[in-house]
Amino acid sequence: MTDYNNAPFEIHVHGDVRLRPDVGFETLQDVLKPLWKYAGARSLADGAASAYEDEPGIRLDAPAHLLQICWTVYGDEDFRQVLDEMCMNLNEVAETGAQIEVTFYDAEYDEEDEAEGRESRDDFVLLFVGPTPGAIMQAQRDLLVEDVVQLMERHFDGSELGGVVAEIDKLFGQRFDALANSLELGKPPRGHGGSGGTGHGGGRRPRHLH
């Protein structure tokens, strides 16, 4: 954990992950230990609150079996290792594929730096978790479709974009066929209408509030 007073980054983690019905709070506490331990907490209940009071933090909607994260912590580049551990743990309890957005805001960057033309160290990372590689690929596909459709609807009617979506499905189908041939996996469903990509970098993004 990095000292809050000297932390070079303000790190925001955002995403919703649907969990298996058998996953309760105690299991989730172990799964998310990398996060709350990094924040200097002794338990998930203690570490669930965000550094910003207006953010929901880390919440479990038990009836819906949904993990909701809108949580900020102060830290350094070593938080990336925490993210790796978190994703591996979430893969074990996720019911479906899901995306998690992580934004690193340069806490030391100010108006003077901007005026002098210095670049901030802001970074944006898009992560995917899921119970199987197929589920993760489905989440990637859904996100990509959503992004492409939103972009193209500025110029075309949504009814005209069926061919574009079909080509995206074709590309992901080819990728999954190669994966299935090597791992003998079942094919993921198609047409959920979400989006997908592997990551983005740079640029300041607003913090998300539920």
The residues facing 106 across adjacent strands are 9
Residue at 129 is within a domain: yes
DSSP state of 159: G
- Whether 56 is in a domain gets the answer yes
Residue 205 lies in a domain: no
Question: pLDDT tens digits for 142-195?
Answer: 999 888 888 888 898 888 888 888 988 888 888 777 777 776 545 555 554 433
Domain annotation covers residue 166: yes
CA 165 from chain centre, in angstroms, equals: 23
Q: What is the mean pLDDT of residues 81-87?
A: 97
Q: Does residue 204 lie in a domain region?
A: no
Question: Residues 102-121: pLDDT tens digits?
Answer: 999 998 876 666 666 777 88
How many domains would you assign to the chain?
A: 1
Find out whether 77 and 125 touch, Cβ atoms under 8 Å: no
Question: Considering the entire predicted model, what is its pTM?
Answer: 0.78
Its domain, for residue 124, covers 4-183
103 assigned to some structural domain: yes
SS3 30: helix
Closest CA to 141 of 107, 116, 175, 115: 175
Q: At how many degrees (to 10) do helices 133-152 and 162-183 cross?
A: 160
Q: In the structure encoding, which two tokens stand for residue 108, read together? A: 């030391």
pLDDT of 62 > 80? The answer is: yes
